[in-house]
Amino acid sequence: AQKITQTQPGMFVQEKEAVTLDCTYDTSDQSYGLFWYKQPSSGEMIFLIYQGSYDEQNATEGRYSLNFQKARKSANLVISASQLGDSAMYFCAMRANFGNEKLTFGTGTRLTIIP
């Protein structure tokens, strides 16, 4: 079974500062993917970034980067130079590569950017 743990229910960050959202995972699969989604107050789920378990380099997408530490089973999302529009819920999710179709989600972190 897969499990995602997000231990920060809410975070407040000053605009333009960097923020790290924590995510730890548990799986017995060797091949898997880790995803981060953003859910603004409008409700849609927006894909941000992906990291494969065999990727040696940390994934980056613009201001988003994923700090992947496989031995610690952590996949933290780093947002650089935060903006007011970054205020949202953020979900970490994982998916096994074989025989498991679903995304397993964490409970999310609500990020609020303070001007």
Partner 1 sequence: NAGVTQTPKFRVLKTGQSMTLLCAQDMNHEYMYWYRQDPGMGLRLIHYSVGEGTTAKGEVPDGYNVSRLKKQNFLLGLESAAPSQTSVYFCASSYTSGAYNEQFFGPGTRLTVL
For partner 1, the binding residues (CB under 8 A) are 4, 31-33, 35, 37, 43-45, 47, 50, 52-53, 91, 93-98, 101-108
3-class DSSP state of 38: strand
31 is written with which tokens? 């091949």
Rounded least distance, CB 18 to partner 1, Å:
24
CA-CA distance, 89 to 83, in Å (whole number)?
Answer: 14
Strand partners, 111: 11, 88
Rounded least distance, CB 33 to partner 1, Å:
3
Q: Which is nearer to partner 1, 64 or 105 (CB)?
A: 105
Q: Which is nearer to partner 1, 9 or 85 (CB)?
A: 9
- What backbone phi and psi angles, to 5 degrees, belong to 2? -105, 150
Q: Which is nearer to partner 1, 56 or 101 (CB)?
A: 101
59 is written with which tokens? 């994934």
